[in-house]
Amino acid sequence: MSSEPISLSKALASFDALWSPRIVTRVNDYDVRVAKVEGEHVWHVHDDTDEFFLVLDGELHILLREPAGERTVVLPRGAVFTVPRGTEHKPYAPSGAAILMFEPTGTPTVGDRHGEIPDHVDSTTGHALDV
């Protein structure tokens, strides 16, 4: 990790792949990841950790399957939301978005339980940032 400040706009400009997060820094045992997203991700669950989202640009929707039923959370630019551990969810961005996520190092982007992974979704624990 860098000992210098990191520009999130430069970090995002350094790659084009969608649903393929880059690790910009670490805080204790947590990765701070940025990603470009568009279209749908995959329904998935993180059994042992919450998942934090901050929308840097665009708008992110997160479908949630909760005991009371399904609902959609809409996050405009600047909004944050935490998906509680054990909650099945599916992020999607109809018009594209840039997001920042905060989760334990080694957490897979497709969770611990998921459906079929489409070709446009990168199943990873985050990629190193090349800036």
| 130 within some domain | no
| 51 within some domain | yes
Residue 42 contacts by C-beta under 8 Å, 6 or more apart in sequence? Answer: 90, 110, 114, 115, 116, 117, 118, 121
Residue 131 above 80 pLDDT? Answer: no
| 126 within some domain | no
For residue 102, give its domain range: 8-114
Residue 43 above 80 pLDDT? Answer: yes
| 124 within some domain | no
pLDDT tens per residue across span 69-128: 999 999 999 999 999 999 999 999 999 999 999 999 998 887 776 667 777 776 777 877
Q: The domain that contains 58 carries what CATH number?
A: 2.60.120.10
Give the pLDDT score at 113: 66
| 2 within some domain | no
In the chain, how many domains are there?
1
